Structure 1
């Protein structure tokens, strides 16, 4: 059995005015922990994490895995959504991950694309996804940052209006771009793409649905994702034979949600997947 991981962290989103601060630290922290647990780890950090590089990295990671292997993908960065073009979304919106070149190239990595990437894996490959981002804001454009609240937690959500060309934004009856949209799902694109049949498992920083956020935080003076910080803190305190269910129970409600970070982490997967020993 081999163990391989890809850790993605993006703070810098050129042209969007929506930079983050803790995502690169998250990726490095996950990479260090996974390396210590015997994983061969690749990273995509900031300008390395273009959409093309993310697709290529996921393809290489999954394509090289065989039955019995464990594959882990961690993503810290903005989530977003776009108008659905193929009619497979109830609320008319596709969820996506935000690559570094989101605004300059105008393309998110959408749930449909992630599903296609994952479906190419060989039978028996165990896929674990760790997502410290959110996808469910209802505004279409974020307000300008408040200089007096520079250290306030920022949701890891990228509204469409901060990156999508104006002619692709949803419009109201008047023909003008909408200022808000109705979101009924708003889940991680990893959740849409994972396969319960093959035992995939997702740990996500927040609930699915409207206005549930994962927060960019500053803890002990260091930028990080609130979920990543507490997930790693919980993991380090667990015994060697702990399961994913044990891990999740140590995160929620022990650490999150909290007064500072009102987010409720989620675990998605079958009962059998949750009972597996962590990273095995």
Structure 2
């Protein structure tokens, strides 16, 4: 109903993969910091923020592929025109062949939930297509190869805008690890449980293990021509790059991109546009010596829209 305040809903996912060969350090810290920012700075209600992390294996809701998609689907199902939806993911990313074909040059983006049930660019495309007109779905993905994670979304800041490190920028000396799992590693991990020993394509293993909970990319699905929508992706890097997981150095471990976004928001109390958040994060990472280039994918209408629909604080009325 017109006049009612819009809903602000969020799903935050952090996967550290503790105790595995793929362990990361800063992903859970990223989403907990973002939760605090959403509440303190951006006006989200704590009860409207779902947090899925893998730090407690007894947790009721772990960030498995099915649970992540279910949480996102529930968030979208609650949405109405004018609502603000937000998804932050920190964890591993990977690239998968587009199909069972032999053209290995065509690779698509995916995130790697704690159970390796990949959530792909097609899943995010289908999710965005369900967002009511007039609502927005903003996604921050601090993972490797995250550029293009919403299939067919328009690139606004991306590889065409990349420049070399300026003179004076120095490479970071902190311990970093890429948030990337090679395709062969993903297939090897899944093949140990799927029983499909002869296949080298991830689709066969995911379908055998997860059935209907596997990504729509690996099942029959229609790919409609996208129209202007409310999907907004701020990616930690380009499709061909890795995102850094930074070990603690006198502070908390974190993702380089997540930390940059936090720093940008903290330094600029006034609302920033999606373009400004990505551009300023790019510049900060360049100054810090990180070789990754955050990107922005969205419709033309959302490039200069305020990040998460921030509003100017009303001016104080002077006392008489």
Is 2:264 the partner of 1:250?
Answer: no
Is 2:26 the partner of 1:22?
Answer: yes
State the shift of 1:272 in Å.
2.5
Name structure 1 gaps, 5 residues minimum. 137-150, 171-191
Q: Per-residue CA shift, 1:53-78, capped at 9, x if unaligned?
A: 10110101111111000101000000
Distance across 2 between alignment mates of 1:99 and 1:231: 22
> Which residue is equivalent to 1:183?
none
Q: Superposition pairs for residues 151-190 of structure 1, below 5 Å? A: 152-164=175-187, 165=191, 167-169=198-200
Distance across 1 between alignment mates of 2:265 and 2:182: 32
State the shift of 1:247 in Å.
2.1
Distance across 1 between alignment mates of 2:263 and 2:73: 30
SS in 2 for 1:32: helix
SS in 2 for 1:6: strand
> Which residue is equivalent to 1:113?
123
> Which residue is equivalent to 2:266?
236
Counterpart among 11, 16, 27 of residue 11 in structure 1: 16
Is 2:305 the partner of 1:276?
Answer: yes
Counterpart among 294, 304, 310 of residue 265 in structure 1: 294
Query: Is the Cα–Cα contact under 8 Å of residues 76 and 131 in structure 1 kept in the other structure?
Result: yes
Is 2:65 the partner of 1:51?
Answer: yes
State the shift of 1:35 in Å.
1.8
Distance across 2 between alignment mates of 1:91 and 1:256: 29
State the shift of 1:196 in Å.
6.8
Counterpart among 236, 252, 256 of residue 226 in structure 1: 256
> Which residue is equivalent to 2:153?
none
C-alpha RMSD of matched pairs (Å)? 2.5
The farther-off stretch of 242-251 and 127-136 is 242-251
Q: Per-residue CA shift, 1:177-236, capped at 9, x if unaligned?
A: xxxxxxxxxxxxxxx99x671132111111223xx1110013543210001001111111
Query: Is the Cα–Cα contact under 8 Å of residues 13 and 101 in structure 1 kept in the other structure?
Result: no
SS in 1 for 2:11: strand
Distance across 1 between alignment mates of 2:111 and 2:140: 13
Would you say how many aligned residue pairs link Structure 1 and Structure 2?
235
State the shift of 1:276 in Å.
1.1
> Which residue is equivalent to 2:94?
80
SS in 1 for 2:10: strand
> Which residue is equivalent to 2:161?
none
SS in 2 for 1:213: coil
State the shift of 1:260 in Å.
4.2
Which aligned segments of 4 or more residues in structure 1 are displaced greater than 6 angstroms? none
Query: Is the Cα–Cα contact under 8 Å of residues 234 and 251 in structure 1 kept in the other structure?
Result: yes
Q: TM-score, normalised by structure 1?
A: 0.76
